[in-house]
Amino acid sequence: MSGHGFHVHGPHDHELEHAAQGGHGGGHGGGHEEGGKGMIGQIAVVTAVIATVGAIFSYMGGATQANAGLYKNNAAIKKTEASNQWNYFQSKSTKQSLAELARDLAPADKQASYQGKVDRYEKEKNDIKVAAEKLETEATEWDHQSDEQMHQHHRWAQATTVLQVSIALAAIALLTKKKWLEYGMFALAGVGVVIGALAALHI
């Protein structure tokens, strides 16, 4: 310090000021770095959870698709069996018609014999009809179950796709450190879980 009020900086004064400024700036940088690390850790954990849930949804989607194919095959088998029964029914109808014709053309003492055949064919036709209709009902039920499984499969696929997009957003959020991308990731993950819940509830 001079007598005229001028302050003369010593050689170490600049170093002290620089250290003070550097230490202050370093404090802000450290806090920002810790915040970034916290964001990275949070996204990493959430991404792992989303990937696990997505893997489960993907498995369920594959399982329901396989079930849909199996049930559709069962329906086709039942339809074939029903068709065979109706063919058998038609053959009995033809025999019954021939027996009725023979009865009408036969002498009176022979008509009772042909009438017995007519009655027998009628009973057999009724039994065959019941069996055929039962098979058709079973085929319809298998078709319905197959359709339900395919609907579930589409739900699981939708949920898996949304979760995959969520994981992609997480990767972009890690690279850009953008909070809105992180929020978007959480939002899409929530939507994916909701769709998965709808699939589980057969909705």
Longest dimension (CA), the chain: 157
In a domain, 5, yes or no: no
* Spatial distance between the Cα atoms of 58 and 123, rounded to a whole number of angstroms: 53
Q: Which two tokens stand for residue 103?
A: 């009865």
Q: Which two tokens stand for residue 64?
A: 């329901």
Return the SS3 of 1. Answer: coil
Helix (H) or strand (E) holding 168: helix 108-176
* Interval 124-142: pLDDT, tens: 999 999 999 999 999 999 9
Cβ-based neighbours of 81, under 8 Å, separated by 6 or more: 135
State how many domains the chain has: 1
In a domain, 17, yes or no: no
* Spatial distance between the Cα atoms of 130 and 186, rounded to a whole number of angstroms: 57
In a domain, 162, yes or no: yes
In a domain, 64, yes or no: yes
Mean pLDDT to the nearest integer, 32-40: 63
* Interval 38-71: pLDDT, tens: 778 888 899 999 999 999 999 999 999 999 999 9
In a domain, 1, yes or no: no
In a domain, 161, yes or no: yes
In a domain, 28, yes or no: no
User: Cβ distance 163 to 192 under 8 Å?
Assistant: yes
In a domain, 8, yes or no: no
The residue segments making up the domain with residue 76 are 50-200
